[in-house]
Amino acid sequence: MKSISPESIYKEVSSEITLILKSLEKESESIELITALKSGHDQFKKLKSELDETLDHLEKNAEWNNLTIAFYGETNAGKSTLIETLRILFGEKSKLYQQKIFLQICEEHKVDDYFFDKCETLKEELSAEDVQMDKLTLQFMKSNSKRKIFEDELTSKSEQIKLKIQNIPFWRRVVHFLWKIPEKEILKSYFKDLNNSLDETSRLLMSYNSEKSAIIKRIELIEKELHGIDLVAKELEKYQDGSIIGDGQSDFTRDLISYEINLNGNIVILLDVPGIEGKEELVYVPIMKAVRKAHVVFYVTRKAVPPQKGDIKTGNKGTLEKIKEHLGAQTEVWTIFNKSIKSPEALRTPSLINNSESESLKVLEDEMRKQLGDKHYAGSFSLSAYPAFVTSTKNFIPNSQRNKDRNKFLSNMTPSQILQKTEFRSFTQKIFSDIAKNAQKKILKSNFNKANDVVVKLKESVSNLNKITFKPLFKNLNHQAYDSTNQLESATNSLKKNIEFTTLSLINKKRESVRRKIYECIDQNIENNDLRSSLEKFIKIGMDEIEIQILEKIENNFKTFEQEVSNILDQFQEHVQEFLHDATKAENMGFNLDINIKSGFNKQGFIASIIGAIGLFFIPGPGWVALVVGVLGVVISLYKSVKSFFSSDYKMAQQRKMTDENIVKVFGSIESSYISQLKKNTDKLEQQLSNIKTRFWIPSQQVEQVTLSLKNSAEQLDNISKTIIKKINIE
């Protein structure tokens, strides 16, 4: 990487790492090495894919023109309160518009300190009307009940009177008919009092309906007035200062919100970040967007203690782990201890924080420096945002708690004094003098540092992959290859010693057998000619027996050797597979190592070739005939040299002596021939076994190539990081 431009740093970093990835695509004549290198290449490719995604997010969120400050921390730490106070004090554009709307609503509806007091009166009136309605309803129910009783009684008695009317004398009925007196009127005359009661209840019911309608109208008017006041309250609540401040509930702020303040012509962007203790699936994206965009981060906390650590056993992240994860790439991180103060009495102390809080903050700072490093952690600042907020504005709903708190604080001190006592004035000066100073340099440094952090993390991932996975794997495979090679050599040496011992033992046994048999013939005073024939016969028989028996015995040795070799190969493959399996599980790599330990090796074919070679060890050659001829020559010589006038004992002694010399010579030659042929054939066996030994080392050689490639990649990544750091220092 020869040069880096600010606008293209993320693309250039990605391009450089792509070149590293291509460098892992080495060509090799060995198929096994190509396969092994692919394992390292694929893992690096996976890591690069994650890096490209991060770089893409950084590029999309990077701010190159305006200094951006993120307010980051736990839920209910007061981040939004801090931002709202800064918006008010610095006259942030959207805040001024919001305040303008608030005042317009107040003016339009004549909202004063007593505007909402009317609500209580209206609510009392509404309650009284409800009571009156309840009473009226009760009276109605009673009257209606009486009316029903009267009607039931009238019906009952009417039936009785009808019967009486039927019994009226005929002449009186004629009179009634002539005078046209209806039956109804006749009944009335009998139930005058009861009818009067019915009429009274009817009048009461009519009065109830009338009074009910009047109450309903009054209730509707009261509710309409209350609804109008409620609408005004909701509008004011929307536009009053502090509307961005949560109510203490988790995840009140879920989206990343930004505000621009003007510091003597320099635009500074304030980012209101969701609380890091909320539901991670809801807030992770806006949090990461904020920290990627920010050049300075304020970690806001209400507790003068180090952030809480997570639980390693359960895997739950604590605040400390989240801070390290989220803010590790930041170049400038400050801690703000936002002390919670709700009453004026707490501001009358000589110092905002006490000795205990001061000592605790030192521990907090040490922990933050430990997690983020001295180059990234800038320091801490103590203040109390709430008193500064409520006294920096009067745009509150008259009867709200914030307005009451404002009046309470201002009854003891002026706004200027409160800004002084809460250290908020010092904080704003800090932003002016230290933080906003050299804003462009901070912007470049922060953005370059984030790119460098991605490179460093990739380098660490590659180095860890090499250190934790491939180097231990190489060591294990190397040790296994060495161990398996030694086992194979030991088995081969045992085979050679066993074959040699078996061969020599059998030849020696046959030599003694021939000697014993020929001695028996000599003891029978055998003639020299017969001795010659017997010796020749015994030697031939011995040679045939050697050939048959030695092949059988050696075959048994080879079967043992075959099993030993088979076990060695099986154990080698089993151990290698275990090493590969363990390696793929290390550090949750999430990929399978493609190391071929079987390529080019056929165990069954190898064993078959060994067994097939047995017959080559002891096939009689031309030398065997020479040996027999030599024996015959000895016998003839013996015949000529022994004179008939010697005594029989002397003759037999000479025969034994000459026979022994010839037996030793013959079987010595046989032994030499076997040993010579054994060496030639074991040399051939060694050549076959050397191929197996070579294959033992292939897996470790494959992994060694991967370790070298990853080591080279880490070095190149380190060079990229150094180039970026150099650029940061130059800028």
Q: What is the pLDDT of residue 311?
A: 62
- Return the closest-CA partner of residue 289 out of 439, 450, 65: 450
Rounded distance, CA 634 to CA 285, Å? 105
pLDDT at 205: 61
Report which DSSP code applies to 614: G
Dig out the tokens for 303 from the structure.
């507790």
> What would the mean pLDDT of 509-528 be, rounded to a whole number?
86
Tell me the helix, strand and coil percentages in the chain, rounded to 5.
Answer: 75, 5, 20
Q: Is the pLDDT of residue 200 over 70?
A: no
- Measured in whole angstroms, how far is the alpha carbon of residue 484 from the centre of its chain? 38
Q: What is the pLDDT of residue 612?
A: 52
pLDDT at 590 over 50: no
Closest to 488 measured CA to CA, from 571, 557, 430: 571
First CA to last CA distance, the chain: 17
Task: Tell me the C-alpha distance between 296 and 385, whole Å.
Answer: 19
User: Is the pLDDT confidence value at 151 over 80?
Assistant: no
Checking if the pLDDT of 643 tops 50, the result is: no
Q: According to DSSP H, which parts of 373-525 are helical? A: 385-391, 401-410, 415-421, 424-430, 439-464, 471-523
| Position 682, amino acid | T
Average pLDDT of 160-164? 58
For residues 257 and 245, give the distance between their C-alpha atoms in angstroms, rounded to a whole number. 12
> Alpha carbon 697 to chain centroid distance?
35
Separation in Å, CA 188 to CA 129, 161, 246, 519: 41, 10, 76, 171
Instruction: Tell me which of 108-112, 116-120, 540-544, 635-639 is least confident.
Output: 635-639
599, HSE (Cβ side, Cα atoms, 13 Å): 15
Report the relative pairing of strands 296-301 and 333-338 from DSSP bridges.
parallel
**What is the b/e burial string over 72-101, where b = at least 16 CB atoms within 10 angstroms of the residue's CB?**
bbbbbbbbbbbbbbbbbbbebeebeebbee
**Cα–Cα distances in angstroms (integers) from residue 630 to residues 620, 621, 663, in the given order:** 16, 15, 11
**Segment among 180-194, 246-260, 475-489 with least mean pLDDT:** 180-194
Q: List pLDDT tens digits, range 557-578.
A: 888 888 888 888 888 888 877 7
Query: What is the residue whose two structure tokens read 């109390």?
Result: 384
Would you state the pLDDT for residue 173? 54
Give, as one character, the DSSP assignment of residue 403: H
Q: What is the 3-state secondary structure (H, E, C) of 694-723?
A: HHHHHHHHHHHHHHHHHHHHHHHHHHHHHH
Burial class (CB in 10 A: 0-12, 13-18, 19+), 39: buried
275: left (phi over 0), alpha (psi -120 to 50) or beta: beta
Helix (H) or strand (E) holding 96: helix 93-108
118 to 115, 215, 221, 225, 523: CA distances (angstroms): 6, 20, 14, 10, 152
Mean pLDDT in residue range 111-130: 74
Beta bridge partners of 301: 337
Could you give the 3-state DSSP secondary structure of residue 26? coil
CA distance 362 to 369: 11
State what percent of residues in the chain have pLDDT above 90.
15
pLDDT band at 420; cut points 50, 70, 90: very high
Residue 301 φ/ψ, nearest 5 degrees: -145, 150
Average pLDDT of the segment spanning 641-649: 55
> 192: part of which helix (H) or strand (E)?
helix 192-239
Which residues make Cβ contacts (< 8 Å) with residue 293, sequence separation at least 6? Answer: 61, 62, 63, 68, 70, 271
* Nearest-angstrom CA–CA distance, 614 and 609: 9
Q: What would the mean pLDDT of 685-693 be, rounded to a whole number? A: 80
Is the pLDDT at 383 greater than 90? The verdict is yes
- Strands, sheet with 377-383, edge to edge from the N-terminal-most edge strand: 257-263, 266-272, 67-73, 296-301, 333-338, 377-383
Q: Looking at this protein, which amino acid is placed at residue 272?
A: D
Average pLDDT over residues 464-476: 83
Cα(272)–Cα(162) distance, integer angstroms:
90
Give the number of C-alpha atoms closer than 13 A to the C-alpha of residue 628, restricted to the C-beta side.
Answer: 16
Q: What average pLDDT does range 533-547 have in this prediction?
A: 84
> Which residue has better confidence, 550 or 397?
397
For residue 354, give the 3-state DSSP assignment.
coil
Nearest CA-CA partner of 534 in 663, 395, 716: 663
Residue with tokens 């931002």: 83
Q: Which range, of 70-79, 220-229, 364-373, averages the lowest pLDDT? A: 220-229
**What integer pLDDT is reported at residue 362 of this predicted model?**
92
Predicted confidence band of residue 620 (pLDDT cuts 50, 70, 90):
very low
Among 267, 336, 252, 247, smallest CA distance to 297 is for 336
Among 142-151, 378-387, 652-661, the range scoring the smallest mean pLDDT is 142-151
Tokens representing 7 are 């606008």
The answer to whether the beta carbons of residues 530 and 577 sit under 8 Å apart is no
Asked if the model's pLDDT at residue 388 lies above 90, the reply is yes
What is the pLDDT of the chain when averaged over all its residues?
76
Report yes or no: 403 and 397 within 8 Å, Cβ to Cβ. yes
b/e 442-454 (16+ beta carbons within 10 angstroms → b) = bbbbbbbbbbbbb
Collapse the DSSP code of 268 into the 3-class scheme (helix H, G, I; strand E, B; otherwise coil) and give the result: strand
d(CA 231, CA 8): 52
Quick one: pLDDT at residue 722?
84
> What average pLDDT does the segment 508-522 reach?
87
Question: Which residues contact residue 705 at a Cβ distance below 8 angstroms, ignoring those fewer than 6 apart?
Answer: 33, 36, 37, 40
- At 548 the three-state DSSP class reads helix
Q: Alpha-carbon distance 235 to 168, whole Å? A: 82
Q: What angle in degrees, to the nearest 10, is found between the helix axes of 603-612 and 648-730?
A: 160
Chain segment 272-311, per-residue pLDDT in tens? 888 776 555 567 778 877 777 888 889 999 988 888 776 6
Q: Under CATH, which number does the domain 65-97+245-437 receive?
A: 3.40.50.300
| Amino acid residing at 176 | H
The full set of domain ranges for the chain reads: 65-97+245-437, 117-230, 502-702
Q: State which amino acid sits at residue 165.
A: I
| CA neighbor of 679 nearest in space, from 490, 503, 487 | 503
